[in-house]
Each structure stands twice: as structure tokens, then as C-alpha cells.
Amino acid sequence: MLAIVCPGQGSQTPGFLRPWLELPDFRSRMTWLSACAGMDLVHYGTEADAPTIKDTAVAQPLIVASGLVSLLALFEHPVEGFRSVSAGAGHSVGEITAAAAAGVLTAEQAMVFVRERGAGMADAAAVTPTGMSAVMGGEQSEVVAHLEAKGLTPANMNGAGQIVAAGTLEQLEDLKADPPAKARVVPLPVAGAFHTEHMAPALDRLSAFAGAISTHDPRIPLVSNKDGLVVHDGTKVLERLVTQVSNPVRWDLTMETFKAMGVTGLIEIPPAGTLVGLAKRAMPGVETLAVKTPDDLDAAHRMVREHGVLEDDIEPAWRLVIAPAKGTITRAPLAEGDTIRPGETIGQVVTARDAYNAVAPHGGRIIEWLVEDEDPVSPGQPLVRLHPAGA
């Protein structure tokens, strides 16, 4: 099973787009997305220096556009990606890239949305000088307690012994001088305390724009960085894209979901490297690849062939409803032969923290249940098989 992951802010480096412009049509596609974003992303990805592309209003559109255009080199025809990728996810702003790649948003919608996200978060960050630092090592509960005692927010729970702290620059300086036990603190090249209450002004701005965006349901299982859930509803994906600006990122739970789904190969798209580094430590046994330049495409194409699951491009004779999370299934009172509507709930998955509805995105007639009531299930596990007729 193949997962595609999309990096977040801080992954960009000066000139990272330069080798990609040698590919046919890459420049013209970046120019088109630049028009949508209202800025010259080709310039920022090739000529601009590190302080310039650290600017949130620049970094976020640059990261999303470069990811979307580079995916066309990995999958020249989008349907190939939809047919072979078993899961997708994005870290922070990379979740916009993942949503567009999964068909929830168009590329143009994604660029307008990320333009407003970046501008809104930059404005919010300008109110109070804030930032973020990675805390490497230490025991997780002790690190979190140490951060909270200093008034900091554990904004990114990245797994593999990494937690990102966010807060004011004074709080981060205090943390650097007094790190948690057995941990070291590394300042990050970002311009604000993202995924914290400091970003609340951006939340209102994005909520207003989201009301005008039409969505489609994801074409592949999309794992949310909020809680590791598989989200099937396009409107729910958009809601999460809005609220994530002030909510912590749980990349640790995202990787746990990948493992539970049985992912065997993971490819990170440009600007790549960060998420593969986390996966190597947290997902042992999974083949990983950071696609940094076009020189990595041959290896990426091989991984798609070896780990991708290809299906015939025909109308399915049946469809599966899968579990959104790890937990215990409580089935709805539905029997084989019953017809259910698109979006109808077929049961609930109860976890240690909450209960989540298992929804049939397309509807249809129940052919067979694949689980019994109260069975333990994993995210992505098939629960019921449907025939599309009668949906």
C-alpha cells in the first residue's frame, strides 16, 4: 500500500524549485498557479533568499503550488494516482496540497485558499512576535508538561521523539535556556506560533472564504492531521482545513493510522525531507522516499509500481465502507439487502477518546457485513460491502 505525504511550512529552502523547471510544462504550470496566488512563485522558488521565503504569506502558496505541480511528474494523469495511492495526508499547510491532490479542491481553489491562509496567518503573527521550536528527545508526557508550564503550546506532535513548541519569542528563549530533561531545542524557520490561539484571527478569515468553496469527496482515503482519522466527506475536509490553523497537528496519529492501514511505501513530495525523516524513525519497515529533485522520479515511479494498488478504470460492481479510526464497531440496525443513501451512517467506531460515524459516501444496497457488532477495527478496514445499484 502506497501513501503520499505533503510537507508543511519550514520545509522550503532557497532555490529548491530550480531543477524542477527543467521538466516540460513545469514553469508554465507554476506560472498559472502564481496567477491564482497573486505572486511570482517561480521567482520565490528559484531566486529568493531564506528570509524572504520564510515569510508566511510567501511560504505557504509556494509549498502548495510546488507540491501540486510536482505530483504531475509523479502521476502524469491524475486518475493513475487515484487508482494506485492507498492513502494521502499533509502536514499543516501540506494538508491543502493533499486535499487538492485527492480531488476535494481544484488546484485553483487550493491556491486562493492558501493565499488567504498565508496572508491571514502572517497578519495574526504580526500582532505579537511569536515562533516555533522543535523539541527533540525526552519523554513525551514530561516534555508536554514542561512546555505547558512555560505557557507554550505543543503545536505539532510529530512522533519519533519530536514535539514542536509554539509561543512568544520570550517563552521560546526561556525554553532554549531551560529545555526539558534529555531533550534539545532547535528553533524553526517559521514566522509565527502556528496551530495555537495566536492564529485565531486567521480562523475567521478562512471561515468566510470557505463558505464560497464547493468541494468533492476525496478520491482516495485522506488521513486528517488533526486526529489521524480517515475523512471521506469533502465538506468535513474543508472544515478541518479551516480550523487546523489554530489546532495542534497530530502527525504522530497520522503515522499510526498509516501503520494500521498496512502502508508499505511512503513518498514525500517537494519540498521533501522532513516527513520522511519522521517516518524512518516512527514507521520501521516501511520504504520511504523524499522526492527532492527530478533525479528522484525514477525511484518514485518504481515505488508506485511496487507499492501502488492498481484497479481497473471501470464502474465498480461493489464498494466498501471503511472504518474512519481504530476502535470498536457498533453496527447500525441494517441488514443485508437494505438500501442506504449516500452519506448515511452505517455504524460508529468507538475509541478510547471519542466515537466517530462510519459513513457510506456513495450509498447502495448492502451485500454483506464484513464485521460483527463490537468487533475491534483499524482505520481503513472494510466494514460493509455495497452494490451501487439503488444508491
Whichever domain contains 218, its CATH number is 3.40.366.10
Same domain, 229 and 356: no
Give the mean pLDDT of 301-329.
Answer: 78
Does 314 fall in a domain?
A: no
**Percent of all residues in the chain with a pLDDT value above 70, rounded to a whole number:** 97
In whole angstroms, what is the distance from residue 200 CA to residue 113 CA? 16
Same domain, 355 and 228: no
**Type of residue at 323:** A
Q: Angle at CA 175, nearest 5°, toward 174 and 180?
A: 140
Q: Which domain holds residue 301?
A: 2-124+197-307
The pLDDT confidence band at residue 314, using thresholds 50, 70 and 90, is very low
In whole angstroms, what is the distance from residue 54 CA to residue 38 CA? 17
Three-state SS for 82?
helix
Same domain, 168 and 235: no
Instruction: Count other Cβ atoms within 10 Å, centred on residue 245.
Output: 23
Number of domains composing the chain: 3
Does 6 fall in a domain?
A: yes
User: For residue 367, what is its C-alpha cell?
Assistant: 451485500
Dihedral pair phi/psi, residue 377, rounded to 5°? -135, 160
Does 243 fall in a domain?
A: yes
Same domain, 138 and 229: no
Same domain, 142 and 268: no
Same domain, 21 and 92: yes
User: What's the whole-model pTM score?
Assistant: 0.82
Name the residues annotated as catalytic. Answer: 92, 195
User: For residue 69, what is its C-alpha cell?
Assistant: 505541480
Give the mean pLDDT of 205-216.
Answer: 90
Same domain, 286 and 231: yes
Does 131 fall in a domain?
A: yes
**Confidence at residue 81, expressed as pLDDT on a 0 to 100 scale:** 78
Residue of 189 and 131 predicted with greater confidence: 131
Alpha helices in 199-296 (DSSP H): 200-210, 234-243, 251-261, 274-282
User: For residue 241, what is its C-alpha cell?
Assistant: 482545513
**Confidence at residue 10, expressed as pLDDT on a 0 to 100 scale:** 87
Does 381 fall in a domain?
A: yes
User: How confident is the prediction for the chain on average, in pLDDT?
Assistant: 91
Same domain, 247 and 282: yes
Q: E strands along the chain, which residues?
A: 2-6, 87-90, 130-137, 153-159, 162-168, 183-187, 222-223, 230-231, 265-268, 287-290, 319-322, 327-331, 339-340, 344-350, 355-360, 364-369, 376-377, 382-387
Does 276 fall in a domain?
A: yes
